[in-house]
Amino acid sequence: MTLFQGLERRGELGAVVALYKRATQANPPLPQAHKNLGDQAWAHGDSEGARAHYEKAVKLGPRPGDDVYLCLGTMA
């Protein structure tokens, strides 16, 4: 289990989001961090936030996962 998974299971979503945001500041930026922030936003009904992070993940990495494209398609 990763640190992120442990925090998510304990319901510490604020800490998880803070860590993901910190990971997006890495050089180079991490596509997976944007994907994970998009997942968090999507799960909490923030479709605009999810879209922004999913689109950033797609720009940064060629294969963010089929679920990213499914969510982007659903939002379209």
Taking only the tens place, the pLDDT of each residue in 51-66 is: 999 999 999 877 877 8
28 band by pLDDT with thresholds 50, 70 and 90: confident
| CA 44 – CA 2 distance, rounded (Å) | 22
Domains and CATH numbers, the chain: 3-75 (1.25.40.10)
- In contact, 31 and 57? CB cutoff 8 Å: yes
- Which residues neighbour 9 within 8 Å (Cβ) at sequence distance 6 or greater? 1
- DSSP-derived letter for residue 46 is -
Q: What is the pTM of this model?
A: 0.79
- DSSP-derived letter for residue 64 is -
